[in-house]
Amino acid sequence: MRFALLIAAMTAVSALLVNGTSSVILSSVRWEELKEYHDCYALATGRAVRERGADTDIRIPTELDMGDCEDPRADASPLVTAGASAALLLTLLAAYVGLPRRRIGRRGYGPLTDMPELSAYLAGLLGESGVRARVGFLAEPLNPTVHALAFGRLGRRRVVLSGGLLTLYSLDRRAFRSIVLHELAHIRNRDLDIAFLTLILWRASVPTLVVMIAVAAPAALLLGSALAGSVLAFAVQVPLLAVLVTLLKNAVLRSRELYADARVTEWEGSADGLRRLFVEPPAQQGGKADRGLLRVHPPLARRARALTDRGVLYEVGFWDMCAVGAAGAFLHEMVRLGPIGGGSQAGPTAALAATVLSGSLVVGAAGTVLWQAVAHAPGSPTPARIRQAGLGLGLGLGVFRLLAPSGAFSLVSVGGQGASLALPYLALTSLCGWALVRWLVLVAGAWGPVLARSRRPRRVLWTVLASATAGVLPMVGFLFTLPTMTLYAAAFIAPSLPGAVVFVGSAAVLALARITTVVAPAVLTAAVVPLVGQYVSWRPGARHTFTGFGPPGPPPGFLVGFGVPVALASAVTALLVVWIGVPAPALMAMGVVIVGQVAAAFWAGGGHAPLPLARGALAAFGAGLLGMSAWGVLVRLVGCLVSGLDACTPFPGAASFRLALIVAPLGTLPAWAVQALTVRARRAPRWR
């Protein structure tokens, strides 16, 4: 699935690039008009931020007043961009249908004639493999090497056998059988379409990206405006994307070879036949060093190791996750700019679509890979590999977000101030990438038994990943918009402070301002998704076994799990604190409730039941939400008793409920951190 998601992302990006170019070229838009529009946009941006920076109620604007700036592409016909996308898709479809026939004619492949015994043997292998597709066998008699290749489109598959392989049929029937079964395994695993789409997209995108580099670099020198910065950033981003696409293409092809070998081992019931083929010839031993990431076939030693160690099939690498993060960031930038590549049509709808698509790509691709690793090779996602994968995901997303043309445009428009924000932003994205990967591994472990018992595991997988994506989408959108907002703060609000200080302060202020829409959904999703999986995976009436030392004791009850007892105790304590007349009663009540959230996390996460941190986070969130709400009700009830029933308003209003929504995630974060440090210290070995 990760390959299909990445291919879909690259296809969408290619279509949007074509749309943006066609809206300028085919709509008779002059580059001078486009340059004037971007200069006007830069001036309007600086003026709007300065006005808000001088105000006492400092905030980062989300919508800028464009003033008299007129976008020359606003009147571009939708038929132009739609026609460009349709032409791109038709070109890919024509290549998918026509290239197999062209390969047969160009390479001189021919049918197997005058070989009835071989044809019958191949038909028997086809029946043993269980491949339902229509497969035709071709011969390449002039090729003396031992080689076989499966190709073709849907409904018409082909397997070509070289002259050396036809000779091997008479000399070593077992080796011949293993090689042919390997190609049939590619067909059974649906590798042909994945590999073909990967190759055709790579061949179509890389030359296009090279042309864009050649055009964008000199164009950046001639434009001489803020638009030049975005064009130059695009010229830097594109080659990096081309490299990642190449590495991703090679990784796709290498992994499909390993999966085909695993399928053959399953059919044969033994790996002896393939193991004989993976003995490296003496002439190649000690030769050139392995090209590693540039290979399209895995090394023979790795293929031999994968026959006995299934963990090799599901290894999660740094570069794979880096490509996922980079594709997500690039897709977000292209979709956010809208169908004409920015300007007046880059509105809230385009930004929402960009967040949904990029977030779905990142969570879906990373989650699928990690889920397979946990399900099929338990223990393979080691802490070291999780750190590498998370670092790759975060750096890929962060680097490509910083190299986005819109980011470079904003940086140039403010005179280059705030460039030092890049390092803290990359540190933040790396931390978030590691947290996401670590959490997805936890979710996969909690939901693994459910998938193993389900008759439709894919539906369960998609449902869980969709729920996880919905919960983290606000945080994904926040990370993507953070560089631009903090850049304006560093340039206009606090230009004298160090960039790291401005970034941390601005990020904290923005997160606090969006705590109910960004932080709260992320906290609830992080706690609820694995807990629901753990609950569903336990069969009704099954005896629960808990890991750990010491007496397990009864697990916390339902009310304790949601922090209800602590919430009521915190509300009463906060009421007493306010009753004695302390200054700033609302802040003191919040402090009491937050302390109660820490206690609720330890109470619910105690014992030896699994997922202690998730249980603690859910209890802390419930204690904060219910505690502040109960405190508001108690304060109003006391007011009713003091002032009389005529002025009684026992139920708090919307402002009190919003305060409870703010306190709940605000107190959950420190409660979870304290509990995590305690659990880690408790699990650390105390002997040597």
User: Is 600:657 a contact under the CB 8 Å cutoff?
Assistant: no
CA distance 538 to 453: 11
Beta bridge partners of 161: 139, 148
From the list 617, 607, 625, 631, the residue with the least C-alpha distance to 663 is 625
3-state SS class at 369 = helix
Tell me how far CA of residue 329 lies from CA of 245, 333, 340, 417, 490, in angstroms.
Answer: 14, 6, 18, 23, 23
- Residue 152's SS3 state is strand
**What DSSP character marks residue 542?**
P
**Across the 688 residues of the chain, what is the mean pLDDT of every consecutive 10-residue run?**
51 54 50 64 62 47 49 57 69 81 86 86 88 88 88 87 90 89 88 72 64 60 54 62 68 81 86 76 44 72 83 79 84 73 62 88 87 80 88 91 74 67 91 94 90 84 91 92 80 75 86 90 94 80 43 64 90 84 79 92 82 91 92 80 61 77 92 88 57
Residues near 140 by beta carbon (within 8 Å), at least 6 away in sequence: 107, 108, 109, 110, 147, 160, 161, 162, 163
Q: 162 pairs with which residues across the strands?
A: 140
The secondary structure of 162-213, three-state, reads EHHHHHHHHHCHHHHHHHHHHHHHHHHCCHHHHHHHHHHHHHHHHHHHHHHH
Beta-bridged to residue 156, according to DSSP, are: 153
Element (H, E) at 453: helix 422-453
Position 84 scores a pLDDT of 64
**pLDDT of amino acid 10:** 56
Q: Whose CA is closest to 143, among 128, 162, 156?
A: 162
Residues 6 or more apart whose CB falls under 8 angstroms from that of 367 comprise 440, 443, 444, 465, 468
Q: Are 384 and 441 in contact (CB under 8 A)?
A: no
In one-letter notation, the amino acid at residue 599 is: A
Question: Residue 168's CB: how many other CB atoms inside 10 A?
Answer: 17
Q: Which residue in the block uniquely carries the two structure tokens 């003026």?
A: 47
Residue 23 dihedral angles phi and psi, to the nearest 5°: -65, -25
**Residue for token digits 């050649």?**
214
Report the distance separating Cα 654 and Cα 632, nearest Å. 11
Cα(374)–Cα(418) distance, integer angstroms: 42
**Burial status of residue 116 (CB atoms within 10 A of its CB: 0-12, 13-18, 19 or more):** exposed
Contact 507, 554 (CB under 8 A): no
* φ, ψ (nearest 5 deg) of residue 379: 90, -15
Residues in the chain: 688
CA distances from 394 to 7, 9, 324, 420 (A): 20, 18, 10, 18
Which residues, listed in sequence order, are joined to residue 151 by a DSSP beta bridge?
A: 158
Please give the single-letter amino acid code of residue 73. R
Q: Is 48 left (phi over 0), alpha (psi -120 to 50) or beta?
A: alpha
Strands (E), 178-312: none
Rounded to whole angstroms, the Cα distance separating 323 from 330 reads: 10
Indicate the helix (H) or strand (E) that contains 351. Answer: helix 348-376
- 336/353 Cα distance (integer angstroms): 7
